Amino acid sequence: MLHNFTAMQRTAFLYIRLLFRVFCLLFIALPNLKASESTDGVSLSRTTGNHLFAPVLVNRKPAWFAVDTGAALTIVDSKKAQALGLSSLGKTVELPQQIEVNDRVVPVANVQNLRVGYANLGSGPVALIDLTAFRAKLQAGGTQVPMDGILGLDILERYRAIIDCSQQRIYMQIGSSDDLAPAQQEVRRQRLKSVPMRITRSGALEVVGLLNGHRYSFVVDTGGFTTLLPIQVALQSGIPTLRAGVSAKGIHSKTRAVWLGIASRMEIGRYNLGTAVVGVTALPPGPEDLSYPFGGLLGADFFFQHHGIIDVGNQRLYFSPNTVGR
């Protein structure tokens, strides 16, 4: 998710981010985990829309959460809050204008116990947003699943998550750093390239790159089905577009047409990806605290095609410059 701030909104949101960081400390990880459980990571399921879904237990009730590095906060479907046993905190959180959540004040509820696979995160707050319009179909078997919630960057950062997109696994540091060792071994085994990422104060996971020689900041967004560029960036970078007959819809935002764009040269960090096929749509401006002008969302297609591994804790992005997956 991206944020477009006025000065007042930016100050309010930084306070909210601080509040949520304090709240997230209440997600107390329980230490009684067997080593085999904690070091294997959690298996994720890929959907036909390129999302990665994690099996979770919310107050011991099974649910599906999308793993979304583009979401600053963890979210639960407001329509399912009661069924999942969530208790209201009697508070609200104001979400400044974003790509997927637009100028909404949403309630905050308390999860008594959140478990992501083996990882018992204890209790803590979540934002409640209506997600009923968002359903998914798993690639394996074609099973329809609801989006009961979104595992956002607040928890991913708190537990130093490593997301291995090609292997469809997520690792979280619940006990010692050994919990993350298999993912780090996979990076070494594949001899992947590495570029730095940065978590901005506004809650975006930023990586720097080039489009046809123009330098931009991109937001790492596993919740995006494909890499998306704003129309003005495509024009500035000389990227031709074709009508694709595809549209995209975010949470609390209208459906937008997506055109097909072909960038003759795209680079992430100092690594050249060559010609890249991207989506072009009417994205609003990105966060004001990026290092360079907002270039768009680095979406799930990139991570699957380039064996992407996202190390949130160490703020490193690993990938192969060559296209090796789909």
pLDDT computed for residue 280 by the predictor: 95
Q: What is the pLDDT of residues 212-261, one digit of tens each?
A: 999 999 999 999 889 999 999 999 999 999 987 777 766 556 678 899 99
Q: Please tell me whether the overall predicted TM-score, pTM, comes out greater than 0.85 for this model.
A: no
Lowest mean pLDDT among 4-13, 34-43, 201-210: 4-13
Q: What DSSP state is assigned to residue 47?
A: B
| Tokens at 151, concatenated | 């595992």
Q: pLDDT-based confidence at 197, cuts 50/70/90?
A: very high
What is d(CA 184, CA 310) in angstroms, rounded to the nearest whole number? 11
**Percentage of the chain modeled with pLDDT above 70:** 80
At residue 188, the pLDDT reads 86
Please determine, for residue 34, whether its predicted confidence score (pLDDT) is greater than 50.
Answer: no
Q: 70-115: per-residue pLDDT in tens? A: 998 899 999 999 999 997 766 665 554 333 444 467 788 889 999 9
Which segment of 29-38, 61-70, 118-127, 208-217 scores lowest on mean pLDDT? 29-38
Whole-angstrom CA distances from 106 to 14, 116, 207, 254 are: 16, 24, 29, 18
CA distances from 166 to 55, 74, 180, 303 (A): 18, 23, 16, 7
The tokens of 264 are what? 């003759």
Residue 202: pLDDT band with limits 50, 70, 90: confident
- Count each helix (H run) and each strand (E run) in the chain, helices first: 6, 26
Cα 143 vs. chain centroid, distance in angstroms? Answer: 22
What letter does residue 32 receive in the DSSP assignment?
A: -
Q: Which range is least confidently modeled, 134-143, 170-179, 242-251?
A: 242-251
Rounded to the nearest 5 degrees, what angle is found at the Cα of 4, between the Cα atoms of 270 and 127? 105
Q: What is the pLDDT of residue 167?
A: 92
> What are the chain's domains?
7-174 (2.40.70.10), 190-319 (2.40.70.10)
pLDDT of residue 39: 58
Q: Is the pLDDT of residue 140 over 50?
A: yes
Give the pLDDT of residue 249. 64
Q: How far apart are CA 271 and CA 181, in angstroms?
A: 26
Question: Has residue 6 got a pLDDT over 60?
Answer: no
Give yes or no for a contact between 55 and 197, defined as CB atoms under 8 angstroms apart: no
CA-to-CA distance for 6 and 97, rounded, in angstroms? 9
Question: Are the C-beta atoms of 101 and 136 separated by less than 8 Å?
Answer: no
Bridge partners of 77, per DSSP, are 129
